Amino acid sequence: MLPLPRQIVTGKARLAGVLGWPVSHSRSPTLHNYWLSRYRIDGAYVPLPVEPAHFVQAVRGLQAAGFRGANVTLPHKEAAYAIADDLDHSARRAGAVNTLLFQADGRIRGVSTDGDGFVASMEAEGLAPKGRALLLGAGGAARSVAAALQDHGMEVAVTNRTAERAEKLAEALPGLGVVPWSEWEEQLGAYTLLVNTTSLGMEGGPDPMFRPSLRHAARHLVVADIVYVPRLTPLLAEAEQHRLKTLGGLGMLLHQARLGFREWFGHDPDVDPDLEAYVRASF
């Protein structure tokens, strides 16, 4: 990998960061500072470990200190939704905010970039969000991805271990179907896209024995996993066995970051193999 140029941080540097608790696992500082170096932008992006009880105080402090905004990760996405003065369409649909944009007049704009990041990662691989999608999971990531796929015209259904959570999601996103958790494998033939939005398959995740079966998949099924560590999750390994087209989760992570970078630092950054390799090397 090419060595990066030295970062420039002068007294006029543009500032942003990521609020989380904990935040040390976040790859956002790695990727934003990669882009800052690569585009020779006078700026810095820092991790901001903030306890939930101090979230509002921290956001007001960042505004007062001249930050341009911040990404927000667990457990603050709902608090970020609440503190925003203006919510864009993506945030309202996701019911959460992962990007705060501080405006010159003191107002805060809240955006959710996860769902559009997922769709952008599909499109970057030449995959069109068309047809019928089945999502495993009904948590925060499922809602963002389901909303974005619906907004691109897909028919979307979710299946979740805890049925009530799937039903609640269907209330929030009109038109969303619900498939019983015990039946999704048999019903797979009806779908063009399968997305794992649970933490199943994640390194150190909840069930090391998770071994989904894709034997009922249609030949054209695209199989995506938003988990990105490991690169080859159990779901993607099974998809490869069936010679199905696959999509890993790192692309979503990289694409969802572009909007914030553009707004804070004034440059539309590229997602390319060098960036992927750089971020992958940090795992």
Residues near ligand NAP (CB under 6 A):
114, 137-142, 160-162, 165, 197-200, 202, 206-207, 226-228, 249, 252-253, 256
Output the smallest distance, CB 171 to ligand NAP, in A.
15
Angle, CA 93 vertex, CA 89 and CA 97 arms, to 5°: 80
Cβ closest to ligand NAP, residue 180 vs residue 206: 206
Amino acid at 28: S
d(CA 168, CA 18): 29
Output the smallest distance, CB 10 to ligand NAP, in A.
31
Q: Tokens 């609440």, residue?
A: 82
Q: Which residue is nearest to ligand NAP (CB)?
A: 139
Cβ closest to ligand NAP, residue 150 vs residue 160: 160
137 is an annotated ligand-binding site residue: yes
- In sequence order, the β-bridge partners of residue 110 are 87, 100
Cβ closest to ligand NAP, residue 103 vs residue 182: 182
- 106 three-class SS: coil
Output the smallest distance, CB 110 to ligand NAP, in A.
16
163 is an annotated ligand-binding site residue: yes
Cβ closest to ligand NAP, residue 119 vs residue 253: 253
Output the smallest distance, CB 3 to ligand NAP, in A.
27
Q: Tokens 């999971």, residue?
A: 137
Name 28's Cβ contacts closer than 8 Å, sequence gap at least 6: 18, 45, 47, 71, 73, 257
Taking phi first (over 0 means left), then psi (-120 to 50 degrees means alpha), and beta for anything else, what does residue 241 get? alpha
- What residues are labeled active site? 77
165 is an annotated ligand-binding site residue: yes
141 is an annotated ligand-binding site residue: yes
198 is an annotated ligand-binding site residue: no
> What's the token pair of residue 226?
């938003």
Secondary structure, 3-state, 45-87: EEEEECCHHHHHHHHHHHHHCCCCEEEECCCCHHHHHHHCCEE
Known binding-site positions: 26-28, 73, 98, 114, 137-141, 160-165, 226, 228, 249, 256
Q: Binding site residues for shikimate, as ranges?
A: 26-28, 73, 98, 114, 228, 256
- Annotated binding-site residue numbers for NADP(+): 137-141, 160-165, 226, 249
